[in-house]
Structure 1
Amino acid sequence: MKVLAFGASTSSKSINRQLANHAATLIPGATITALDLRDYDLPIYSSDEEEKNGVPKDAQAFLDAIRAHDVIVVSLAEHNGSYSAAFKNLYDWTSRIETKLWSDKPMLLMASSPGGRGGATVLETAKATFPRMGADLRATFSLPSFYDNFSPEGGVTDAALAAELKSAVASITA
């Protein structure tokens, strides 16, 4: 099974990239591609930019990566209650190529934050919109208080949250 995993942030220390990559490793027999959003260089979306220069090649590269995988594991960064600007821009550009950009792939949708809500607001937004954009949303998972509940060596350290994540991962491969 080919798994595409990414955190929807451009931070070099992205907690959401760490969570997405960890969750992907829980899929038995997975071949994992870990994307880094810093590899996608795009101008800010506008209809004027699109008319003048077309859709950037990095938007097509992102769509190609989605299409080349069997499962998507994404963890959303929450910036002021919404998507990070870099992810939203990539999402907007890619949807100009294909409205159902998630290509009907099974998806584990997650979010984390340093705070106790664990990215709950952005997760709810994505749960409402990603299926309309072609996501086969199989499970969601929110990890609150990332620095208290995650270690780079062991993953999710809270037993109840680790069990919840394991169950979410199992649902995308069923």
Structure 2
Amino acid sequence: MARILAFAGSNSSTSINYKLVKYTTSLVNGHEMNELNMANYPFPLFSVDLEKKEGYSNSLIELKNEIQKADGVILSVNEHNSYPSAYFKNLVDWLSRIERKFLVDTKVLLMSTSQGKRGGFGSLEVSKAMLSRFGGDILATFSLPSFNENFEAGKGIVDPNLKDEHERALMTFLSSF
């Protein structure tokens, strides 16, 4: 049984990426799941001056520890103007200052979704490269386009082809444990 941490790269209380994470974790059986709602994790904008003055918050250290205790991470990144959100980039900046390789030996299922037809693909690609630099082993990726058309509360992914693609990505990730 693997320990899997799941969260979205968004701090929005109405995050569609968090909805995708919750749906994905509902399909996982036989593993210890820890699902985090990042709306409960506010972090100040990173600056070297703030780091020197105040150090690292307890919640940031706890998050880093949760990531490092996990065998795998299920993560869905949101997109702002074709890039990861400022919140997610800021989170990575803080985590990498505590420990550069904060994802070393961690298997990752990386996903994204958006209201648009590209499904956050730009953010997904940038995040894939970024997380690999910090030691993450990206085993599978999935992008869900046009969230409102392809996802329904209580049902999940409704497009059969996208549902199959999502399940294949999840199975690739889970089969590594």
- For the criterion TM > 0.5, the same-fold answer is yes
Deviations 1:58-117 (A, max 9, x none): 221111111222210000010122122222211111110111112321110000000100
**How many pairs align?**
174
C-alpha distance in 2, partners of 1:123/1:32? 23
Q: Deviations over 1:11-39 (max 9, x none)?
A: 11110001012112222313321111122
Q: Give SS of 2:73's match.
A: strand
Instruction: Tell me, in whole angstroms, the C-alpha distance in 2 between the residues paired with 1:173 and 1:34.
Output: 16
Q: What residue is the counterpart of 1:169 in the other structure?
A: 170
TM-score, structure 1 length as denominator? 0.95
Name the residue aligned to 2:110. 109
Q: Which residue of 2 aligns with 1:58?
A: 59
Aligned equivalents of 1:65, 1:159: Cα separation in 2: 34
SS of residue in 2 equivalent to 1:171 = helix
Which position in structure 2 is the counterpart of 1:82? 83
1:165 partner SS: helix
The alignment's C-alpha RMSD in Å is 1.2
8 A contact 2:11–2:42 mirrored in 1:
no
In 2: Cα distance, 1:171 partner to 1:76 partner: 19
In structure 2, C-alpha distance between the alignment counterparts of 1:41 and 1:161, rounded to whole Å: 32
- Indicate if the aligned counterparts of 1:27 and 1:170 stay in contact, CA closer than 8 A: no
Larger CA deviation: 3-12 vs 139-148: 3-12
1:130 corresponds to: 131
Q: Any residues of structure 2 matched to 1:133-144 within 5 Å, and which?
A: 133-144=134-145
Structure 1 segments, 4+ long, off by >6 Å, are none
Q: Which residue of 1 aligns with 2:71?
A: 70
Percentage of matched positions with identical amino acids: 40
Distance in 2 between residues matched to 1:155 and 1:33, nearest whole Å: 20
Shift of 1:4: 1.0
Unpaired runs of 5+ in structure 2? none
1:118 aligns with 2:110: no
Unaligned runs of 5+ residues in structure 1 are none
Structure 2: which amino acid aligns with 1:46? S
- C-alpha contact (below 8 Å) 2:11/2:38 kept by paired residues: yes
Say whether the 8 Å CA contact 1:7–1:75 is kept in structure 2.
Answer: yes
Structure 2 length as normaliser, TM-score?
Answer: 0.93
Residues 24 and 30 of structure 1 are in contact (CA less than 8 Å); yes or no, is this contact kept in structure 2? no
